[in-house]
Amino acid sequence: MNQVLAYENISYTKRVLDVLRIDPVLLLLLGLLSVFGVMVLYSASGSDIDLMMRQITRLAMALLLLVTVANIPLRILKKISVWLYLAGILLLLAVMFYGEVGKGAQRWLDLGVIRFQPSEILKLAVPMMVASYLADRVLPVGWKALMISVVLVMIPVFLIARQPDLGTAILVGSAGFFVLFLAGVRWKIILILSFLFSLMAPLLWKFVLLDYQRARILTLMNPESDPLGSGYHIIQSKIAIGSGGVYGKGWLNGTQSQLDFIPERSTDFIFSVFGEEFGFFGSILLIFLYLAIIYRGLYIAAHATENFGRLLAGALSLTFFVYLFVNIGMVAGMLPVVGVPLPLISYGGTSMVTLMMGFGLIMSIRSAKRYLG
């Protein structure tokens, strides 16, 4: 009896998820990560219930948006790509002229009701734009399509880097280039471009990067050179992670975190708190959870029925990986400090909403396959 009931329950749940066009595997993984995230955030915020509730509310909102996006048919998503992209560019220009300054950077746009960062839109709009453009071209990508795609990517990247928001620029740029990579840009071209880029690096260093961005990179090389200044973040973060040891100091017991030694501990540096309290085992678990989500995204990409979905799902999953790698690399002292949050765990609404909408896109792509095939 019980077994029958259980079976009926499962099938019922499955049917609901199918109707909602939700991928149960991805949803489960995202749910697990979110629970993890809320727990860590509670500790990182110094047991701030209010802050935790705000994050949960945002999470709920983001899930709602995920479902909404998942229910937009893929062909419509493909059609609106170009308009979303153009709107994003216009908003970026608006920010340049009318934006609000927060923490020394001009990123925010106040629309009266909501304040948001237009650069977040581009995180989705750029891969959508490039994917929809390349989906109609013959693959592997030819020179002309490549050049057009590069221009499409570089315009918003340049605008965002000017704000200055290096972290988002990297994410937007990599999202765009991942589409190109998946679209089969020849290895020869990739090598040539990498070579050209490394030649240009000194010029970028000199003319594009701002003083503080250069300082962060220099600090990474030798954080002890300025222990009270820009090296402080990295040193304290490394101490936190390292002192977590194999098993961690326990939830709410991280001295580095609880005693305020870690700067930005509920946002960009939240992994330091996690590493300190949950140790190496916890870190492995968390990273594997992320890996599972990424691989699920890649799996869906591989099984999508047409190129737009394949390229977009693949690029979004890879971008998700960039988030993870840049953030943990940064707090572990491997990469310079750029403003990239730990996806779905760091406190803050905008990035979470964008990420969840991205997964909404991926789910829509999965469903498209189902309906078509």
How far apart CA 131 and CA 143 sit, in angstroms, is: 16
34 is an interface residue for another protein by CB under 8 A: no
Q: What does 103-154 look like in DSSP terms, one character per residue?
A: TTEEEEEE-SS-EE-HHHHHHHHHHHHHHHHHHTS-SS--HHHHHHHHHHHH
Strand partners, 185: none
Residue 289 engages another protein in binding (rule: CB under 8 A): no
Amino acid identity of 169? A
CA distances 97 to 107, 216, 277, Å, are 11, 27, 43
- Interface with another protein (CB under 8 A), residue from 65, 155, 181, 289: 181
Closer by beta carbon to another protein, 177 or else 347: 177
Residue 337 CB, nearest approach to another protein (Å) = 16
Distance in Å, CB of 304 to another protein, minimum:
9
Amino acid at 3: Q
Stretch that binds another protein, among 91-99, 154-162, 297-305, 351-359 (CB under 8 A): 297-305
Closer Cβ to another protein, 176 or 275, answer by number: 275
Q: How far is the CB of 12 from another protein (least distance, A)?
A: 33
Measured from the Cβ of residue 43, the count of other Cβ atoms closer than 10 Å reads 25
Cα→Cα distances 165→157, 162, 340, Å? 10, 7, 10
Question: From the CB of 57, what's the least distance to another protein, in Å?
Answer: 29
**Shortest distance, CB of residue 255 to another protein, whole angstroms?**
5
Among residues 116 and 178, whose Cβ is nearest to another protein?
A: 178
User: Do 115 and 108 touch, CB atoms closer than 8 A?
Assistant: yes
Contact assessment for residue 317 and residue 298, using Cβ atoms and an 8 Å cutoff: yes
Which of 294, 338, 355, 368 binds another protein (CB under 8 A)? It is 294
Does 166 contact another protein by CB under 8 A?
Answer: no
- Region from 28-36, 182-190, 200-208, 364-372 binding another protein, contact rule CB under 8 A: 182-190
Determine the interface stretch with another protein among 9-17, 111-119, 295-303, 345-353 (rule: CB under 8 A). 295-303
Q: How far apart are CA 9 and CA 11, in angstroms?
A: 5
Q: What is the pattern of x (binds another protein, CB under 8 A) and - over residues 229-268?
A: -------x-xxxxxxxxx--------xx--xxx-------
Min dist. Cβ of residue 263 to another protein (A): 8
Q: How many other C-beta atoms are found inside a 10 Å radius of the C-beta of residue 161?
A: 23
Structure tokens at 163: 């704000």
φ and ψ of 111, to 5 deg: -100, 25
Q: Kindly determine how many residues on this chain lie close enough to bind another protein according to the rule CB under 8 A.
A: 50
Nearer to another protein, 116 or 320 (CB): 320
Q: What are the φ and ψ backbone dihedral angles of 317, each rounded to 5 degrees?
A: -65, -45
CB of 341 to another protein, least distance (A): 16
* Residue 182 binding another protein, by CB under 8 A: yes
Q: Tokens for 38?
A: 């809320």
Smallest gap from residue 123 Cβ to another protein (A) = 18
Site string for another protein, 306-335 (x = CB under 8 A): xx--xx--x---x--x---x--xx--x-x-
Query: Is residue 311 a contact partner of residue 135, using CB atoms and an 8 Å limit?
Result: yes
| Nearest distance in Å: CB 43, another protein | 16
Rounded to the nearest whole angstrom, what is the least distance from the CB of residue 318 to another protein in the complex? Answer: 6
Question: Which pair of structure tokens corresponds to residue 126?
Answer: 């750029």
Give yes or no for a contact between 257 and 242, defined as CB atoms under 8 angstroms apart: no
| CA distances in angstroms from 159 to 155, 168, 181, listed in the order given | 6, 11, 23
Query: Nearer to another protein by C-beta: 110 or 260?
Result: 260
- Rounded CA separation 122/361 (Å): 14
Does position 82 bind another protein by CB under 8 A? no
Where do contacts with another protein occur on this chain (CB under 8 A)? 135-140, 178, 181-184, 236, 238-246, 255-256, 259-261, 275, 279-280, 283-284, 287, 291, 294-295, 298, 301-302, 306-307, 310-311, 314, 318, 321, 325, 328-329, 332, 334
